[in-house]
């Protein structure tokens, strides 16, 4: 009960990638980079275990970015043809690759780090993949000319990868769809169909992470425009409740999301953000416990998984570790209260 987990990414060691930034350049090359990614994955598992996290992840140590880290394993994308594009309804500019032909998965993308993670932990293992709608929003299209067609092509490639990860012993596959908080009508019209296609036939637990983004300035500025109550989830949660996706990872800590919106998820698992990733302050275990108690008003304990609001890739390592320890300690406090 109240098993803790993380939304996805953790900071990388400074010997692997430049610290404190998104899209951080690698510090190694070739075979040394491949080896470094695996070493960092194992280290990340160990650090999560030491902190007391129940469902551990690869910490996304082998990916430069949560979207492009998967895309590098696909045919049909030209990474030399980079375009600067406004993403998430032009909230910020990103340098994105271009789709130049049919999307096909060349082979396993994340198997090496999934295998390494699996053999180094007996705990439940979670793995994240970008969702189709968010991929479509983070790439330039020079081939399909139709967003939905392109999303479905990505969904098929994601599905092959998800099935492979499941075979390797992954217990939870989570698709990251921050775009679901931006294009709510499109989620209903096709985003959820594409997401279900990505998860089709997967029998381990599935979840979708929908957030208000990393703690970077563009997101903090955007949040300031959303008013006193953030009700984006109100439109998407009923759509997800009717879908085959098993659970939702959402932002709750320090946010203006009305927590009663979680009731709209009906019987889905809820990975409630009890750790804020947008500031450097390390929550106390008691802060975390308060966040969990607030969520328990709307979600029963057997479906509630205390989590981080979003990925922690751009944070300092000691801050991220402190937050993980408090997450586990806070959940332990509430577990004792419920016992």
- Residue closer to Zn ion by CB (options 151, 310) is 310
| Closer to Zn ion by Cβ: residue 36 or 247 | 247
**CB 299 to Zn ion: min, Å:** 19
Sheet holding 92-105, edge to edge: 74-87, 92-105, 140-141
Residue 76 CB, nearest approach to Zn ion (Å): 26
| Residue with Cβ nearer Zn ion (9 or 48) | 9
Long-range CB contacts for residues 35-41, cutoff 8 Å, separation at least 24: 37/61, 37/62, 37/112, 37/113, 38/62, 38/112, 38/113, 38/116, 40/12, 40/13, 40/16, 41/113, 41/116, 41/117
Which is closer to Zn ion, CB of 211 or CB of 257? 211
Residue 244 and residue 207 in contact, taking contact as beta carbons nearer than 8 Å: no
Residue among 246 and 314 whose Cβ is closer to Zn ion: 314
Binding site for Zn ion (CB under 5 A): 211, 310
Q: How far apart are CA 62 and CA 37, in angstroms?
A: 5
Q: Which runs of E-coded beta strand occur in 10-89?
A: 55-57, 74-87
| Beta carbon nearer to Zn ion, 152 or 208 | 208
- Which one-letter DSSP state was computed for residue 181? G
Looking at 27-73, which runs of residues are DSSP E strands?
55-57
Q: Is 332 exposed, middle or buried (0-12, 13-18, 19+ CB in 10 A)?
A: middle
Task: Give Cα separations from 102 to 74, 105, 187, 335 (angstroms).
Answer: 10, 10, 23, 49
Is 7 within 8 Å of 173 (Cβ atoms)?
no
Question: In the bound complex, what is the minimum distance in angstroms from residue 176's beta carbon to Zn ion?
Answer: 6
Q: How far is the CB of 178 from Zn ion (least distance, A)?
A: 5
Q: Which is nearer to Zn ion, 128 or 159 (CB)?
A: 128
CB of 285 to Zn ion, least distance (A): 23
User: Least separation, in Å, of the C-beta of 7 and Zn ion?
Assistant: 6
Q: Name the minimum Å distance from CB 134 to Zn ion.
A: 10
Q: What is the closest distance, in whole angstroms, from the C-beta atom of residue 28 to Zn ion in the complex?
A: 26
Q: Give me the phi and psi of 201, to 5 degrees please.
A: 75, 0
Cβ(37)–Cβ(16) below 8 Å: yes
Q: How far is the CB of 290 from Zn ion (least distance, A)?
A: 22
Query: What separation in angstroms does the CA of 209 have from each of 92, 143, 286?
Result: 20, 28, 25
Report in angstroms the alpha-carbon separations of 28 from 10, 14, 268, 315, 324. 18, 10, 41, 20, 27
Rank residues 310 and 327 by Cβ distance to Zn ion and give the closer one: 310
Closer residue to Zn ion in complex, CB, 6/116 = 6
**What are phi and psi for residue 160, nearest 5 degrees?**
-60, -45
> In angstroms, rounded to a whole number, what is the distance separating the alpha carbons of residues 210 and 192?
12
């Amino acid at each position: 009960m109240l098993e803790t987990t993380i939304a996805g990414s953790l900071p990388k060691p400074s010997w692997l990638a430049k610290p404190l930034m998104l899209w951080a350049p690698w510090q190694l090359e070739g075979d040394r980079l491949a080896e470094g990614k695996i070493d960092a994955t194992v280290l990340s598992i160990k650090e999560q275990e030491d902190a007391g996290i129940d469902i551990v992840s690869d910490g996304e140590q082998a990916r430069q970015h949560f979207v492009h880290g998967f895309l590098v394993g696909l045919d049909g994308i030209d990474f030399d043809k980079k375009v600067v594009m406004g993403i998430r309804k032009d909230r910020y500019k990103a340098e994105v690759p271009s789709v130049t032909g049919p999307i096909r998965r060349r082979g396993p993308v994340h198997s090496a780090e999934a295998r390494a993670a699996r053999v180094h932990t007996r705990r439940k293992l979670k793995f994240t993949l970008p969702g189709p709608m968010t991929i479509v929003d983070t790439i330039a299209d020079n081939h399909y000319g139709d967003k939905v067609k392109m999303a479905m092509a990505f969904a098929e490639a994601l599905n092959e990868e998800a099935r492979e990860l499941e075979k390797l012993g992954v217990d939870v596959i989570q698709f990251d769809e921050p775009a679901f908080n931006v294009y709510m009508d499109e989620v209903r019209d096709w985003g959820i169909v594409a997401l279900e296609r990505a998860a089709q036939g997967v029998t381990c637990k599935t979840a979708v992470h929908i957030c208000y983004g990393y703690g970077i300035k563009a997101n903090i500025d955007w949040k300031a425009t959303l008013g006193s109550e953030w009700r984006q989830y109100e439109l998407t949660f009923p759509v997800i409740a009717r879908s085959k996706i098993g659970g939702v990872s959402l932002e709750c800590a320090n946010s203006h999301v009305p927590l009663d919106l979680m009731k709209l998820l009906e019987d889905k698992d809820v990975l409630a953000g009890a750790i804020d990733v947008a500031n450097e302050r390390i929550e106390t275990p008691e802060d975390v416990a308060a966040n969990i108690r607030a969520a328990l008003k709307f979600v029963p304990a057997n479906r509630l998984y205390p989590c981080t609001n979003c990925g922690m890739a751009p944070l300092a390592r000691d801050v991220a570790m402190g937050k993980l320890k408090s997450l586990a300690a806070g959940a332990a406090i509430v577990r004792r209260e419920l016992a």
